[in-house]
Structure 1
Amino acid sequence: MPNDPARIKYLLERYAARSCSKEELDELFAAIRETPAEASLLAFMEEQYGRFDANETLPEVDYEQVYQNILQHKPARQRKIFTLGRVAAAAVILLAGAAIFWQVQKKTSTPSSSIQAETSKTDIAPGGTKATLTLADGSTVSLDSAGNQVISSGSTTITRRQGQLLYDAGKETAALQYNTLSTPRGGQFRVVLPDGSKVWLNSASSLRYPLAFTGKERLVELDGQGYFEITPNAEQPFKVRVQSMEVQVLGTHFDVMAYKDESTVNTTLLEGAVQVTEGAARKLLKPGQQAVLDTRSHEMLVQQANVNKVIAWKNGLFVFNNMALPAILREVARWYDVEIVYQTAPSTELYGGGIARSLHLSNVLALLEAGGNNHFRIEGRKIIVLP
C-alpha cells in the first residue's frame, strides 16, 4: 500500500529513527517514486524539518557520511528516485539527512533537464574541510580533514585532529604573537582557541587570534563568517572585532556574518549575552535576537532572528527563509567557489526551505530551477543565470 498516507508516514518515521527493516526500506523507496506520495512526503518534511523559525538549533550531523551510507545501502533498482523531479529532489534532500520543504511564492515548475545534460563533464563538487594556517613567523601550513598533525609555534603546540585545530598554550612571552586561520571559497574549518573557546569558520573567512590570551580581554579579529562558543571568564571578556564593529561577550554562543560582498554585518545570539558596538551605536542582545548593521549608513537595528537559518552552514545546510535569488547565489558561490554571471535579471520570487551542502552544484541549481523562473548553466567555475 505505497500510497496510504498513514503507512508512508510510519515508514518515514521508521527511517528517521534508523529502524527500517530491509523490506520496509524497499517499500519506502517504492512509495517515494510514486507521484501520489508527494503530499505525504512533503507533509512529513514540513512537520519534522520545516519549522525553521524555531529557536532550537539543528543537531550536528556529518551529512556527507549519511548521504554516502544511503547511496551504499539503498536498493539498486531504486536508482531513478535520484532524478531531479520535484518529489524525487525533495526525497534526495530528506534521505541525505538534511530535508527540504520547498515553499516558493509562485507555482512550482519542472526543472530544466539542460543542467544535467550540459554539466555532466563539468559538475562541481561541494566544498569541504580545508584552510590555511599562517603562523606568527609568517610561514603557512595547509590544513584539511585527513590525518593528524602537530605544529609548533613558539612555545605553543597546535594539533590538527579530525578537521579542527587544538591549541595547547605554552608559557606566556613578552611579545604577543598571532596566528591567522583562513578558509578559501569552498572550505570551512574549526579551531579550539588557547582558552578552550570553539570557533567554526565558514568559507572565504579568516580569524586572527593570539597564541595566548593575556591582559584584561580576549580579542580576536574576524573577516567573513564565524560561529563562536566561548569559554566563560568574567575577568577577561571575549571580544570579536569585525570591520568597524566590536562584539563583546561573556560566555555565550553566537554567529557573526561580515562578508564584504554583503550590505550588512549580522550578529546573532543563540545563548548568553553580547553587546554590539559600532561608533556611538550600542546594542545589547538577548538570545534569539540579531543585530543588523548597515555598512553604508552605519545604522544598526535589532530584530528577532531565524536561528536555524543563521547557523545552517555549520550544520551542513543551506536554509532559505523568504530569500531572493541573488542572496542565495552569493551563498552558493562561496561554498562551491564559483562566479555568478547574470545574462538576465534574476527572477523576483522568494525562496524558503533547505538544501544539503553535500550535494553537487548541478543538483542545487536544479532545485532552484524547480522553484523559480530562472535557469542556470555551469561553464567552468561560473554559474550562468539564464531566463
Structure 2
Amino acid sequence: MPDHQQRIAYLLARYVNKTCSREELEELFAMIGQENGPDIPGDLLEEIWHTAHPAPDIDYEQAYLHIKPVVPIRRSLPFRKIAVAASVLLLAGAGYWWLSAEKKTAQITTVQSAPAPPILPAGNKAVLTLADGSTVTLDSAGNQVISQGKVAIRQSNGQLLYAGQPTDGSIHYNKLTTPRGGQFRLVLPDGTKVWLNSASMLRYPTVFSGKERIVELDGQGYFEVAPDAQHPFKVKVHDIEVQVLGTTFDIMAYRDEQSVNTTLLTGSIRVNKGSVQQLLQPGQQAVANNQDQQLAVRAADLRKVTAWKNGMFVFNDMALPAILREVARWYDVDIVYNTSPATELYGGGIGRDLQLADVLALLEGNGLNHFRIEGRKVIVLP
C-alpha cells in the first residue's frame, strides 16, 4: 500500500475509534480534499469501517443525503471525493458525535462569555390574518376551529384546513404569515397543500371561484397543487407569475436573496416575468434575477431545494453568507460581520433540529471563520 494510503488508513482508524485529534482530522480532510490528491479505494474505507463497526457497505449517494457535518469544497472537486469525505465524517453518526462533543465544550468555554439560554430551531408557528383584519396566533399545540362566516378553518397539529362555502357568493382573503423561527402547513379550499418556510407569507381566498385559482407568495413555499385542468393554479411572486395545472414545485422568493428560484419536481409549469416566459420540465429551475428582467433555466439540485421541507439544511457549492441567511431566518437571529466571510464554498448538510450553537460549531469546523452568540445576534469572526 502506498505511503499516502497507509497514512489515510491510520487517520481513518483513529477517527472511527474516536481517538483522532483535531490536527489529525484536519490533516485527513486536507488529504481527501486535494483537487489532485490521492484516490481512496473503496475497499480501504470498507476495511477501516468494518474493523471498527460491522455495518453494510457505504452508500455514497445516501451518505450525501444524510450527512450531518459540513465541509468546505472547491467547485472543481469531483462528487466522489466529496461523497467520500462526507462518508468519512458520517460513519453512521460517529463523525457528528466527535465534532459536536468537542465543539460543545468549546462553545461553553470560549464562544459565550456567560451562560445563556440556547437558541432553539424553528417550530410550527404562524399568524393567520382574517378578512376583517383580526388575527389568530397559531402554533404546534393549538387545535381549534375558526369560523369565518360559513367557512370553517380547522387548526390541527401545525396545519390549517379550510372547509365550507360562503352563501353570499362573496370572496374573502386570508393571509398566513410565518415569522423568522417559524413554519406552517396549509390545505387550501381546493385541496392544494402548501408548506410555508420561515419568514414567509401566503395570501389566498377562502374559496376559489372563477376560471383561475390565484394565490400570492412572499418568502418560500412548497406546493402540491390539486389537479383541476379547468381552473389553472397561479402563484404571484413580486413581478413573477407561475402558472400550473396539477403539479409539485417550490418557490424561493426572499427579498434579501439575489433571485427568485422556481423549481419543478413533477408536472409542468410556466414562469412569466414581464414579457419573458419559460416552460419548465421536472428537475428544472427558473432563476429570475431581482435586478433585471433576466429569466434563466438551469438543472436543479432537488435534494437541496426540498431539504428545508424535509428538516435539513443542504449546501451544494454555497458561500457562507448564503448559508447564514438561511440560518438567520430559521433561528430568528441577526448576522453581524466583524470580518469578511471566508470565500470557500461549502458542501454537505446539517439537521434543522439542532440548536443554533451546534450548527455554528459545525460551520466552524474548517477553521476559516468563527462565531460568537450575543443575545439573538451571531457575530462572524476571523
TM bucket by the smaller chain? 0.7 to 0.9
Per the alignment, residue 213 of structure 1 pairs with 208
2:332 aligned with 1:337: yes
Structure 1 residue 91 displacement after superposition? 2.2
Structure 1 residue 318 displacement after superposition? 0.3
Residues in 2 aligned to 1:34 and 1:48: alpha-carbon distance in whole angstroms: 26
Match of 1:44 among 50, 58, 65: 58
In structure 2, do the counterparts of structure 1 residues 172 and 278 end up closer, same or farther at CA, with 3 Å as the change threshold? farther
2:141 aligned with 1:146: yes
Identity %: 58
Higher RCO (Cα < 8 Å, 6 or more apart): 1
Q: Please give the TM-score of this superposition, normalised by the length of structure 1.
A: 0.75
Structure 1 residue 298 displacement after superposition? 1.9
Per the alignment, residue 290 of structure 1 pairs with 285
SS in 1 for 2:308: helix
Q: CA RMSD in A?
A: 2.9
Per the alignment, residue 370 of structure 1 pairs with 365
Per the alignment, residue 300 of structure 2 pairs with 305
CA contact (8 A) 2:16 2:94 kept: no
Q: Please give the TM-score of this superposition, normalised by the length of structure 2.
A: 0.76
Per the alignment, residue 21 of structure 1 pairs with none
Per the alignment, residue 347 of structure 2 pairs with 352
Per the alignment, residue 376 of structure 2 pairs with 381
Per the alignment, residue 241 of structure 1 pairs with 236
Amino acid at match of 1:116: I
2:224 aligned with 1:232: no
| TM superposition outliers: structure 1 runs of 4+ over 6 Å | 92-95
In structure 2, do the counterparts of structure 1 residues 228 and 352 end up closer, same or farther at CA, with 3 Å as the change threshold? same
Per the alignment, residue 91 of structure 1 pairs with 93
Amino acid at match of 1:91: G
In structure 2, do the counterparts of structure 1 residues 188 and 32 end up closer, same or farther at CA, with 3 Å as the change threshold? farther
Give the number of equivalent residue pairs: 313
Amino acid at match of 1:223: D
Structure 1 residue 89 displacement after superposition? 11
- Post-superposition Cα deviations, 1:63-96, rounded to whole Å, max 9, x if no partner, equal 9xxxxxxxxxxxxxxxxxxxxxx9599827879x
In structure 2, do the counterparts of structure 1 residues 215 and 47 end up closer, same or farther at CA, with 3 Å as the change threshold? closer
Residues in 2 aligned to 1:160 and 1:33: alpha-carbon distance in whole angstroms: 46
- Post-superposition Cα deviations, 1:31-88, rounded to whole Å, max 9, x if no partner, equal 66454999649x8373423159xxxxxxxxxx9xxxxxxxxxxxxxxxxxxxxxx959
Structure whose alpha-carbon radius of gyration is higher: 2
| Mean Cα deviation higher: 272-281 or 367-376 | 367-376
Residues in 2 aligned to 1:348 and 1:237: alpha-carbon distance in whole angstroms: 43
Structure 1 residue 276 displacement after superposition? 0.2
> Unaligned stretches of 5+ in structure 1?
1-29, 53-62, 64-85, 96-101, 103-109
Per the alignment, residue 83 of structure 2 pairs with none
Structure 1 residue 116 displacement after superposition? 3.5
Residues in 1 aligned to 2:232 and 2:95: alpha-carbon distance in whole angstroms: 41
